Amino acid sequence: VQLQACGGGLVQAGNSLRLSCAVSGRVFSTSGLGWFRQAPGKEREFVAAIKWGSGTTNYADFVKGRFTISRDNAKITVYLQMNNLKPEDTAVYYCAADQIYSGSYFSTNYWGQGTLVTVSS
């Protein structure tokens, strides 16, 4: 499985961005596709995930109500719509795949390359 993320950039606080992650390789109904982020000097943290088959979503508390994860089955692509961005959302965002995702704990089997999101105040 290969994951290709794009869509990062520089935005002002309060604005929006949409990240995309194109998946090549096998994706199963049990698979989870997710997003993580890593800010400078901090550990990588979970942001959101979606179960490929059911579409069930899971979010970190700090993005609930602002970020939305979705998928396009035909394009085998997962999206992260980020609204009302804050300076503290500045980070490198990574997409990830978990081939057997329970819907809660995300155990990454594959990582994509990161895409940088910078939010100015």
Question: CB-based burial of residue 114 (10 Å sphere; 0-12 exposed, 13-18 middle, 19+ buried)?
Answer: middle
Mean pLDDT, residues 72-88: 96
pLDDT above 90 (res 50): yes
pLDDT for res 55: 94
pLDDT above 90 (res 26): no
Q: Which of 78, 85, 70, 77 is nearest to 117 (CA)?
A: 85
- Cα within 13 Å of Cα(35), Cβ side: 35
Residues 6+ apart with CB under 8 A from 81: 16, 18, 67, 68, 69, 70
Mean pLDDT, the chain, rounded, equals 95
